């Protein structure tokens, strides 16, 4: 009987060291557990448009974005009260999956005098794909952030102003040229600018 040199080497290592045996058994069990663990036990991703999360908000969520941005920025040391205004370029768009069927039918007719008449009929049918009675989202593009205005109590300090600008550019993924940070009016009537 022919033996595999690797089998001999493994048998030799396992025969001498009980700690090695335990390690091999644990690794084998972990490997089998990983193989048997099915990713299908996790819930499937939702195709419901209401459940889809996007990287940037739609215009309907603009107020929510402004509120959350203000709350986050207010937590920065030295900032104080904050108000934000976000300008979006559009509402974005969503494309839903559909089944399309196109049919073209050609017929040729000849009359008694030898004249040939060709008839072309075209029909198209499009049906929205549904999953759990909700349309399946195929592609979506969130609106682009055009600019952000941040008005904060502590923005008169250049270090705080820079910190606010960096926080907004990092959070929204926009350039610093699209962010304006101004100090908040401190109770006076009118504006310093």
What pLDDT is recorded for position 191?
52
137-141 and 134-135 strand pairing: unpaired
138 or 191, greater pLDDT: 138
Provide the token pair at 172.
């929204």
Full domain range(s) for residue 160 = 59-94+141-183
Task: Based on the fold, state whether residues 81 and 102 are members of the same structural domain.
Answer: no
Task: Based on the fold, state whether residues 158 and 80 are members of the same structural domain.
Answer: yes
Domain for residue 53, yes or no? Answer: no
Helix 158-172, helix 62-74: angle, nearest 10: 140
Domain for residue 118, yes or no? Answer: yes
* Position 53 pLDDT exceeds 50: no
Task: Based on the fold, state whether residues 81 and 148 are members of the same structural domain.
Answer: yes
* Position 58 pLDDT exceeds 50: no
Q: pLDDT tens digits for 77-135?
A: 898 999 999 988 877 788 888 888 899 988 888 888 888 888 888 989 888 888 888 88
Lowest mean pLDDT among 18-27, 36-45, 62-71, 125-134: 36-45
As a whole number of angstroms, the distance between CA 44 and CA 54 comes to 17
User: Is pTM beyond 0.85 here?
Assistant: no
Domain for residue 129, yes or no? Answer: yes
* Position 55 pLDDT exceeds 60: no
Contact 160, 99 (CB under 8 A): no
Lowest mean pLDDT among 26-30, 140-144, 153-157, 187-191: 187-191
CA dihedral 160, 162, 168, 169 (to 10 degrees): -170
Task: Based on the fold, state whether residues 114 and 32 are members of the same structural domain.
Answer: no
| SS3 readout for the chain | CCCCHHHHHHHHHHHHCHHHHHHHHHHHHHHHHHHHCCHHHCCCCCCCCCCCCCCCCCHHHHHHHHHHHHHHHHCCCCCCCEEEEEEECCCCEEEECEEEEEEEEEEEEECCCCCEEEEEEEEEEEEECEECCEECEEEEECCCEEEEEEEEHHHHCHHHHHHHHHHHHHHHCCCHHHEEEEECCCCCCCCCC
Domain for residue 54, yes or no? Answer: no
Number of domains in the chain: 3
Task: Based on the fold, state whether residues 150 and 130 are members of the same structural domain.
Answer: no
What pLDDT is recorded for position 12?
65
Domain for residue 121, yes or no? Answer: yes
172: domain CATH number is 3.30.300.30
């Amino acid at each position: 009987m022919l033996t595999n040199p690797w089998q001999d080497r493994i048998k030799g290592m396992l025969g001498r060291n009980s700690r090695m045996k335990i390690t091999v058994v644990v690794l084998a069990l972990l490997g089998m557990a990983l193989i048997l663990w099915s990713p299908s036990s996790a819930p499937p991703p939702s195709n419901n448009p209401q459940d889809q999360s996007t990287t940037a908000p739609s215009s309907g969520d603009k107020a929510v974005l402004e509120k959350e941005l203000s709350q986050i920025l207010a937590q920065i040391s030295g900032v104080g009260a904050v108000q934000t205004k976000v300008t979006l370029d559009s509402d974005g768009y969503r494309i839903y999956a559909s089944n399309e069927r196109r049919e073209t039918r050609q017929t040729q007719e000849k009359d008694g005098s030898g004249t040939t008449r060709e008839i072309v009929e075209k029909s198209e049918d499009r049906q929205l794909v549904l999953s759990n009675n909700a349309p399946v989202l195929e592609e979506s593009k969130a609106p682009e952030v055009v600019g952000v205005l941040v008005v904060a109590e502590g923005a008169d300090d250049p270090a705080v102003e820079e910190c606010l600008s960096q926080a907004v550019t990092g959070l929204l993924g926009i350039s610093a040229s699209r962010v304006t940070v101004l100090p908040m009016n401190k109770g006076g009537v009118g504006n310093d600018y």
